[in-house]
Structure 1
Amino acid sequence: MTVSPHAAMVLAAGFGTRMRPLTDTTAKPLVTLGGRALLDYALDHLAEAGVRTVAVNAHWQADKVADHLARRPAPPTTVVLREDPILETGGGVRAALPVLGNDPFFVVNGDAFWVNGPIAALHRLTAVFGDDVDGVLLVQRTSHVHADVGFGDFALDKWGVPRRRRQREVVPYIYAGVQLIRPRILADMPDGPFSMNRAWDAALAAGRLRAVVHDGIWFHLSTPPDLAEAEMIMEARVTGDARWPWR
């Protein structure tokens, strides 16, 4: 059964420590790439997927996040949820459930930046989201990432079932900061701060987590050099420069 989510969460409460000094005075999702805030790219993808309401959590430079969203026209309609203390990824999503409702919804990292392949990434998540799953993750091949991503996050079998990286193992996929989940994936999680990894591990143990490999462009934007390289690559894409790595 294909779902059509109308709600989403954008995680924008982090400190962006590794992106300093760019984040000394602003939230990381407001850092610009190609003249636009990273947050706007995420919201554009969600709007194109038919999402009407987006909860955006905020902590560091929360006023700037709220002001930026207030100047952005709908759709989607955005609801800012200020966190104090910060609730981490899972706790932030759980706290937003009253806004997100009871149906499946997207969760996007506020610094996630991707370019769709032949079929939009969010539509590809919905296409494999059946009654037998509680979550579908978008992953990218580590070999396609122009940044240090360590040893990867997941291996996948031929059915798209992910497996965590074992100790001293190198695996070929990294989480791309985009997921589609049911609210019940958080049902047994604690109140307060916790990582979304805990909910994923529970879903993995129950056989109810899947992954889709992104077939477009994705950037790991952790540091100012990562951002500078992404700027160069995206400019090369527009101008047809030989530095453009995907031809």
Structure 2
Amino acid sequence: MSRYARPMAIRPQPDAAVPGTAMVLAAGLGKRMRPLTATRPKPLVEVAGRTLLDHALDRVRAAGIGRAVVNVHYLADALEAHLKHRVHGLDILVSDERARLLETGGGIVRALPLIGDAPFLVVNSDNLWVDGPVDSIRALAARFDDDTMDALLLLVPLARAHCHQGRGDFHMDGLGRLSRRRSMRMAPFVFTGVQILSPRLFAGVAEEPFSLNLLWDRAIAAGRAFGIVHNGLWFDVGTPGAVKRAEAMLASE
């Protein structure tokens, strides 16, 4: 199949106002995906006939978000060339990190002038999800409360985190408030790579390489980090073997 093949079916509900902008994280080196990333960036690795980047952008557009900011670093020219062939209906801006890889947190800080001052969606381009009964991005938007939240993460139960090798990331209380997995313990929920963040989370933060985990910890300490559960399929597509397993499961569905 072509990398521009028809995307999998997406059900755009519940009906909720969605963020105006999505940040798609696509600047990583993709070391675990080698040799597939020897000549192409990880977001351009194909799963089920479509690139990981296109899977993510398809869902952003289907949810009703009109603009996406995509950061680039490794093999940035290839990513930019690919983005020029995207179908209409989504305004795409590039945040250039060619000079220095800024990791997840620093990459967002650099892109903030393009993102704006309203809450925004963030999507990791190396994860793949299929919506269940509702569109997961719109479900996040319906739950997000800017008065009480700085971060709202889409989570999947560890038992349904396909191709994932970790012990889980978070615990969640009855209100959806998050806490971290303790060292050497298990946690029931895994982060899917999809979230809504408030720009206030980045107030006073310098444009330096750092992980978004640092700001999550601040939000958790303040009681302003929340989660909701994804009810569809989710795949941690981090290795060549995971690509094959994800494709087999998608084919069986």
Task: Return the TM-score normalized by structure 1.
Answer: 0.93
**1:88-146 residue CA offsets vs partner (Å, 9 max, x unmatched):** 00100111111111111100001121000111110111111112111100111110123
Say yes or no: does 1:61 pair with 2:75. Answer: yes
Quick one: distance in 2 between partners of 1:215 and 1:113? 13
For the pair 1:20 / 2:45, whether they are aligned, the reply is no
Render the CA deviation track for 1:131-172: whole Å, top value 9, x for unaligned.
211110011111012324321111111111111011121111
Match of 2:224 among 208, 217, 240: 208
Pick aligned residue for 2:91 from 77, 81, 97 = 77
Within 2, Cα distance between the matches of 1:20 and 1:44? 25
- 1:3 offset after TM fit, Å? 4.6
- The gaps in structure 1 that reach 5 residues or longer are 238-247
Q: Aligned-residue CA RMSD in angstroms?
A: 1.1
> Of 114, 134, 149, which aligns to 1:133?
149
Cα drift, residue 49 of structure 1: 1.4
Contact 1:3 1:129 in 2 (8 A): no
Q: Map of 1:1-247 to 2, 5 A cutoff? A: 3-83=17-97, 84-130=99-145, 131-237=147-253
Task: Judge conservation of contact 2:22–2:65 (CA < 8 Å) in 1.
Answer: yes
Tell me the secondary structure at the aligned position of residue 96 of structure 1: helix
Runs of 4+ in 1 over 4 A off after TM superposition: none
- The question of whether the paired residues in 1 share the 8 Å contact of 2:163 and 2:246 is answered with no
**Equivalent AA in structure 2 for residue 209 of structure 1:** A
Partner Cα separation in structure 2 for residue 152 and residue 23 of structure 1: 26
Q: What is the SS of the residue equivalent to 1:78?
A: strand
Q: Cα deviations across residues 24-78 of structure 1 (Å, max 9, x unaligned)?
A: 0001111001111110111111111111111100111100100000011222111
1:196-238 Cα distance to aligned partner (Å, 9 max, x none): 111111111111110011100000111111110001111111x
The structure-2 alpha-carbon separation of the partners of 1:205 and 1:3, relative to structure 1 and needing over 3 Å to count, comes to farther
Q: Taking structure 2 as the reference length, what is the TM-score of the superposition? A: 0.91
Deviation, structure 1 residue 188: 3.4
The amino acid across from 2:128 in the alignment is F
Identity %: 44
* Partner Cα distance (1:190, 1:80) in 2: 20
The gaps in structure 2 that reach 5 residues or longer are 1-15
2:3 aligned residue: none
Letter paired with 1:54: A
Amino acid at match of 2:61: A
Q: Equivalents in 1 of 2:250, 2:172: separation in Å?
A: 29
